[in-house]
Amino acid sequence: MKALTIGKVAKQAGIGVETIRFYERRGLLEEPPRNDSGYRQYPPEAVVKLRFIKKAKQLGFSLKEIEELIALRHKQDATCGDIKAQAEERINNIEERIRDLSKMKEALVELTRQCSGNKGPVTECPILTALEPTGEDP
C-alpha cells in the first residue's frame, strides 16, 4: 500500500488541495501521518472517501449530513433504512427548494411583464419599485 501526497489524492479524487485540508479540519477526513519531511502521507482509501463526499455533495447533501452518512456507514447496528431515511429527507428538502425557486421565478416573471423595458428613468422601473422597502417590511 503506497502512500499518496495531497496533490495526488486531490487529482485522483477530482477536488482541490484546499478542499482536502478543509475536510480534515471539519473531521470528515482523518489527518494522515506525515513523513520525515513533514508531507502528509495519505492511504489510497482517502481517495475513495473523498469521492464519496464529492458524490454526496453533488446529490445535495450538506457536510453535516455527509458526516452523518459516514457515521452510519461505520455504525454496526445501522441499516439501509437509516440511509434511506437520510436520502428521503434530502429529497424533501430539494422539493421544498424547488417550490421556493418556482415562487421566486413567478414573482420575477410578473415583475418583468410589468416593465416596458423602455429607456425611461430607472425611477419609473416597476421592478425597482417592487423591491423598495415598504412600511410593512420587517
H-helix segments, the chain: 6-13, 17-26, 45-58, 63-74, 80-114, 126-131
**Amino acid making up residue 120:** G
pLDDT of residue 1: 64
pLDDT of residue 17: 96
Mean pLDDT per 10-residue segment, the chain (138 residues): 90 96 94 88 95 95 92 89 92 95 95 84 85 74
| Cell (9 digits) for 137 | 417590511
| Cell (9 digits) for 32 | 494522515
Question: What is the dihedral sign for C-alpha 65, 70, 71, 72?
Answer: positive
pLDDT of residue 15: 96
CB-based contact 68:28 (threshold 8 Å): no
Backbone phi and psi for residue 4, each to the nearest 5 degrees, phi listed first = -115, 150
Every domain of the chain and the residues it spans: 1-61
CB-based contact 8:47 (threshold 8 Å): no
Per CATH, which fold does 1-61 belong to? Answer: Multidrug-efflux Transporter Regulator; Chain: A; Domain 2 (1.10.1660)
pTM of the predicted structure, to 2 decimals: 0.74
